[in-house]
Amino acid sequence: MSSILRSAVVAVFCGVASPALTDGLPAAITPLFPKAALPSPEVPDTDILTLTRFNAAPVSSREVPDDIAEVVARQANISNFGTACGPSLSVSATSGAMLSVRLSAPCLPYDTVRLEHAGLAFTLPMPMTGELSFLLPALSETGSLSATLSDNSTLTASTPVPDAREFARVALQWNGEDHGELIAEAPRQLDGQMFRIGQSLDESGAVLQVFSRRIDDLAASGVVRLSMRTRVTTANCDTGQTARVRRVVPHEPVSTYDLKLMGQGCEAVGQSLELKNVLQDLKLAGN
C-alpha cells in the first residue's frame, strides 16, 4: 500500500503527472475491484517524503507512466485514459473473408498479446492505449479467435465466415525471433494476396504469413508455387526453426502440421535456405 502512495507522491513531487492522475484524485478513493477493500492509509514516513534517490534515479520516461498506469488501473480498474480496465475481444466478418478484430486491454498497455486462430498463433505488441484493431484472413469458417494476455487471462470470440470457402489459403506461422518468408509465385491472372501479421520480439513470439486467392472468380487454371525462404542466423544455425502450416483449400481436406527446419550449422550463418518442395503448390482450376 505504501508503494502506491509513494508513487503518487513521487509523481506529484517530480511534476510528472499522467493524464489519469491529474484528474485522478477520485481514483484514490474509488474502492478497489475486484480486490479487497482499501486498507487504511498509512502516514508516510518523513524519509520517504524526501525522496532524493528517486530524483537522481535514471528512470526512463517510459517506465514512470507505466508504473503509474498500473497503479491507477489496479486501484481503480480504470485505465490511463479513464476507460474501464476490463479487457475485451470482438471479431466480425468483413468482405473478402476477413476477420475484423478489436482487442481492448487498456490496463495492459505495451503488453504482448498472443492471438490464436484455427490452430495458428501470432504475437502482437499492444500500443500505449491498450486498444488494437486489425484485419486477419479467416482460416476457418467458424472464425474463432482467442487472445492470451500477459496476465494469462484468455479471451475468446468467434463469428461465422461463410465466404471463407471461396478462398484458397495457405498460412505459415513462424516461431521465434528470426522469421523466414512465405513466397508465392504465380502468373498474373492467378496472383493473390499475401498477408503478414504479427510481430515477434523474442523466442516466444510468432508471426503469421498467409497467401490468399479468391477462387470463385478464377477465369484461368494454373499453379501457384509456394516456397519458403529463411536466413541462417546465429540464433537458428544450431537449433533450427519451427513453423506451423495450415492449408485451407476448397475440395481438399484441411490440414495443419508442424515443421521443424533443422539447423544448417553455424558455418552457414548469413546464407539463406530456400525450400521449394516442403509446401505443396496450389493448383487452381478456373471456372
Residues that bind another protein (CB under 8 A): 185, 187, 222-223, 225, 252-253, 255, 257-262, 273-278, 280-281, 283
Cis status of the peptide bond prior to 34, with omega within 30 of 0:
yes
Residue 91: HSE in the Cβ half-sphere, 13 Å Cα cutoff: 24
Residue 67: HSE in the Cβ half-sphere, 13 Å Cα cutoff: 17
The smaller minimum CB distance to another protein, of residues 33 and 257, is found at 257
Please state the closest distance from residue 4 (CB atom) to another protein, in A: 48
Beta bridge partners of 235: none
Please state the closest distance from residue 195 (CB atom) to another protein, in A: 23
The smaller minimum CB distance to another protein, of residues 128 and 273, is found at 273
Set of cell numbers at residue 211 = 497467401
Please state the closest distance from residue 272 (CB atom) to another protein, in A: 12
The smaller minimum CB distance to another protein, of residues 2 and 280, is found at 280
The smaller minimum CB distance to another protein, of residues 42 and 258, is found at 258
The smaller minimum CB distance to another protein, of residues 55 and 280, is found at 280
Please state the closest distance from residue 283 (CB atom) to another protein, in A: 7
State the burial class of residue 131 (Cβ atoms within 10 Å of its Cβ: 0-12, 13-18, 19+).
middle
- Between CA 100 and CA 126 the distance in angstroms is 16
Please state the closest distance from residue 260 (CB atom) to another protein, in A: 5
Residue 152 falls in which region: left (phi positive, over 0), alpha (psi -120 to 50) or beta: left
